């Protein structure tokens, strides 16, 4: 039976939906956390001797007491340090995109973790310490901006491509989310390959929730082409893991072959050179995604679950 509504009823529904939408947007804006990155790197490089004393008082953790002021003044004058600072300024002088990304991330973090407190967010220059691009403590978040100048930046000449591809500003928010994910997951000793890939799967699913608009290849830290390879070969890789009884194997060499960052994964087959690194993380990610799809549970509780519970209840079965 078709129901015909009078025009004034239709208009009422129409305007009610507009009011609801505007109200929702207004609430979202009101609940959004405002974020500003404290540019210590800039303050330090542009400081004079008097301002340096003030910086030492405000940022004592950057100035070990056993170093005299001469060390810091000489560092500011060093030609390499000046060059690094200038290159950082070229990329991050207008860093509103970073403030916006952090605001979105922390607003979602607060939505899911009510007791969350915003840390002090400080940028600095690390002399391209790409292994420690982001450092998170209970109250401070440090971002080494010189590690995000772009994959083709000349500072990174000589580095392997699988490292350089992560050294761009688009990766910052993913790296930050990863550090928060690690703090949100129940820590326990991991022995088997399955435990290790599901640990990374939890981290990546955390990013799914906290970075809903982020590209998957940025979340996992590989190129889009490599992600395409992982998607196309997921079923074959899973079959390889099952046939070779890898899942419950405690061999630590499996981490180097399938989990760690590297030029490619090591199946010891002809496909190796074409494969993506971190394929174990990708499989673990999809197992966790399958678990969340097939079980009525919050992602916060999932992060605390035992790995066998996730695996056996995931109903994971790639069909490509």
Q: What are the domain boundaries of the chain?
A: 38-171, 185-314
How do 120-124 and 140-144 pair as beta strands?
parallel
d(CA 247, CA 5): 60
**pLDDT tens by residue, 113-136:** 999 999 999 999 999 999 999 999
**pLDDT tens by residue, 228-270:** 999 999 999 999 999 999 999 999 999 999 999 999 999 999 9
d(CA 209, CA 29): 19
d(CA 114, CA 107): 10
Question: Are the beta carbons of 176 and 121 closer than 8 angstroms?
Answer: no
Cα torsion for 250, 256, 258, 264, to the nearest 10°? Answer: -160
143 DSSP β-pair partners: 123, 134
Q: 318: which residues sit within 8 A by CB, 6+ positions away?
A: 234, 235, 238, 286
Residues in the chain: 320
Cα 60 to the chain's mean position, in Å? 28
**pLDDT tens by residue, 201-234:** 999 999 999 999 999 999 999 999 999 999 999 9
Question: Are the beta carbons of 79 and 181 closer than 8 angstroms?
Answer: no
Q: Each residue's pLDDT tens digit in the chain (320 positions)?
A: 444 445 544 454 454 445 444 444 444 445 789 998 999 999 999 999 899 999 999 999 999 999 999 999 999 999 999 999 999 999 998 778 899 999 999 999 999 999 999 999 999 999 999 999 999 998 999 999 999 999 999 999 999 999 999 999 999 999 999 999 999 997 778 999 999 999 999 999 999 999 999 999 999 999 999 999 999 999 999 999 999 999 999 999 999 999 999 999 999 999 999 999 999 999 999 999 999 999 999 999 999 999 999 999 999 999 76
* Residue keyed to tokens 């790296």: 175
d(CA 143, CA 190): 29
| Model pTM score | 0.88
Write the DSSP assignment of 179-199 as a string of letters. HHHHHHSPP----SHHHHHHH
d(CA 262, CA 288): 23
Of 175, 242, 225, give the one whose Cα is nearest residue 204.
Answer: 175
């Amino acid at each position: 039976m078709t129901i015909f509504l009078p025009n004034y009823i239709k208009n009422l529904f129409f305007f009610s939906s507009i009011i609801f939408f505007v109200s929702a947007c207004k609430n979202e804006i009101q609940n959004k956390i405002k974020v500003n990155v404290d540019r210590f790197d800039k303050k330090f490089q542009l400081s004079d001797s008097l301002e340096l004393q003030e910086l030492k008082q405000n940022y004592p953790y950057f100035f070990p007491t056993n170093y005299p002021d001469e060390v810091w003044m000489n560092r500011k004058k060093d030609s390499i340090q000046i060059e690094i600072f200038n290159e950082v300024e070229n990329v991050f002088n207008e860093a509103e995109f970073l403030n916006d990304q952090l605001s979105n991330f922390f607003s979602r973090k607060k939505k899911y973790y009510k007791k969350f407190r915003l840390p002090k967010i400080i940028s600095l220059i690390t002399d391209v310490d790409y292994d420690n691009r982001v450092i998170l403590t209970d109250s401070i978040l440090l971002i080494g901006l010189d590690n995000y100048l772009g994959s083709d930046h000349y500072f990174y000449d000589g580095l392997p491509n699988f490292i350089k591809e992560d050294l761009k500003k688009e990766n910052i928010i993913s790296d930050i989310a990863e550090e928060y994910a690690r703090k949100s997951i129940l820590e326990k000793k991991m022995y088997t390959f399955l435990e290790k890939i599901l640990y990374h799967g939890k981290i990546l699913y955390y990013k799914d929730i906290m970075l809903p608009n982020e590209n998957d290849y940025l979340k996992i830290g590989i190129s889009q082409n490599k992600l395409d390879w992982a998607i196309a070969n997921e079923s074959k890789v899973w079959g390889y893991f099952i046939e070779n009884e890898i899942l419950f194997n405690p061999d630590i060499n499996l981490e180097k072959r399938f989990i760690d960052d590297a030029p490619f994964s090591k199946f010891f087959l002809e496909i190796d050179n074409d494969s993506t690194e971190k394929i174990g993380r990708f499989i673990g990610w999809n197992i966790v995604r399958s678990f969340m799809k097939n079980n009525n549970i919050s992602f916060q509780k999932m992060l605390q679950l035992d790995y066998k519970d996730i695996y056996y209840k995931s109903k994971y079965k790639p069909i490509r």
